[in-house]
Amino acid sequence: MTVLVTGAAGRIGRHVTRILRASGDPVRALVLPDDPGRAWLAAQAGVEIVEGRLEDRASLVPAVRGARAIVHLAAALTSRGGIDDEFFAANAAGTYHLLAAIRDSGSRPDRVCIVSSDAVYWGGGGPAFSPVDETHPRIPASVYGATKVAAEELALTFQRAYGIPVTIVRPSATADAEELIDPDGVFGSRMWVASAIRRIEAHRAPSAADRELLAALRPHADAGPALYLVADPDGRTAISTLNDARDAAAGIVGALRHPLAVGEAFNIGPAAPYAEAELLGHLGRRLGLPVVTVTLEGARPSWIVSSAKARAVLGYAPERSVTGMVDEALAARGEAGR
């Protein structure tokens, strides 16, 4: 069956595409005209590329036509430097355009999997309860999170109004292993002092939390390469959940295919939470870098998301750990350097 994957050229989309192709499903990939991941997709057998933009409904019609299932990953992301207007246009209005294109094309996919985010739960303070499961209130403290709530609600409304079967998945923060050792990448800026300073200084609209982080990091800017660990004023460092993109993709495809997933939402997280102090310590030892601790009033509290429902219903079985991802990426870099 042809599966349309929006955002197929992105971090998670490539793994979703690989998994679908490995089980023989033809993939139709929706890509932006200037998408940097396009060359990778073009080299995959059994992948048809369709150019389109979520903001442009007419461009989505040929993409949805005849698709037996749809995985909707394309979005503007906070970690890619997106701003509120872009989140609204791509994630809220764009998801509406995709759903309306399905409705108007006469296609009747067996399933539409909407990839949301655990940002829907993040109200700014600590969680209402922990671990955060699917019954946690959705009280986003970011426009990005609000656009994901909007996308979820639009999809469920299209299911009720037009009989389009949908499934919602809410991944935790998700990285490729090599991103954990790349100072210049999205995740490097959460760990390398110099990279965080560069990212925040370049951002068009840095948040209050980012401005506080920038002020705390600047005194360390000239001390040579270093990693940073965030502590709250009581010296506590956080426990968090971070997915390997391969695990997240397996969870998404599992949700797409499972008959009991219609109308349901699933958190898709890692095998176990990790301590940020453990990850930074491990990375520092492996790279021979010091780790400085910065104290922030606005330090993000521990954030532990439960994937128990996905494990029980879908058989979701994430395999990787953050320290294992670091080791794997360093081994791959060593191999590549030989």
Ligand X SMILES: NC(=O)c1ccc[n+]([C@@H]2O[C@H](COP(=O)([O-])OP(=O)(O)OC[C@H]3O[C@@H](n4cnc5c(N)ncnc54)[C@H](O)[C@@H]3O)[C@@H](O)[C@H]2O)c1
Query: If we measure between CA atoms, which residue out of 72, 102, 70, 73 comes closest to residue 3?
Result: 70
Q: Residue from 2, 21, 32, 304 that binds ligand X (CB under 6 A)?
A: 32
Strands 3-6 vs 27-31: parallel, antiparallel or unpaired: parallel
Tell me, rounded to whole angstroms, the distance of Cα 241 from its chain centroid: 12
In the complex, minimum distance from the CB of residue 158 to ligand X, in angstroms, rounded to a whole number: 17
x-marked contacts with ligand X along 70-99 as a string, rule CB under 6 A? ---xxxxx--x---------x---x-----
Instruction: Give the residue with the Cβ less far from ligand X, 53 or 258.
Output: 53
Name the segment binding ligand X (CB under 6 A); options: 99-107, 168-176, 219-227, 312-320: 168-176
CB of 234 to ligand X, least distance (A): 28
Shortest distance (Å) from residue 4 CB to ligand X: 12
Residues 6+ apart with CB under 8 A from 196: 189, 190, 213, 214, 217, 228
Nearest residue to ligand X, scored by beta-carbon proximity? 10
Residue 217 CB, shortest distance to ligand X, in Å, is 22
Please report, in angstroms and rounded to a whole number, the separation of the first and last CA atoms in the chain: 41
Q: Is 11 in the site for ligand X (CB under 6 A)?
A: yes
Does residue 280 interact with ligand X by CB under 6 A?
no
Q: Kindly list the distances between the CA atom of residue 133 and the CA atoms of 89, 137, 267, 268, in Å, as whole numbers in the listed order.
A: 28, 9, 7, 10
Task: Please select the residue that binds ligand X; options are 63, 102, 115, 197, rule is CB under 6 A.
Answer: 115
Select the span of 42-50, 67-75, 299-307, 311-319 touching ligand X (CB under 6 A): 67-75
Evaluated on CA atoms 90, 79, 266, 148, the torsion sign reads negative
Q: Residue 248 CB, nearest distance to ligand X (Å)?
A: 8
Q: What is the DSSP letter of 317?
A: -
Q: What are the backbone dihedrals phi and psi of residue 30, each rounded to the nearest 5 degrees, phi first?
A: -85, 125
Q: How many CA atoms lie within 13 A of 81 on its CB side?
A: 11
| Residue 29 touches ligand X, criterion: CB under 6 A | no
Nearer to ligand X, 29 or 283 (CB): 29
**Among 3, 4, 5, 7, which residue interacts with ligand X (rule: CB under 6 A)?**
7
The one-letter amino acid code at 122 reads W
Binding-site size, ligand X (CB under 6 A) = 25
**Which residue, 9 or 314, has its beta carbon nearer to ligand X?**
9
Q: Give the burial string for 292-330 (b: 16+ CB within 10 Å, else e).
A: bebeeeebbebbbbbbebbbeebebebebbbbebbbbbb
Binding site for ligand X (CB under 6 A): 7, 9-13, 32, 35, 37, 53-55, 73-77, 80, 90, 94, 115, 117, 171, 173-174
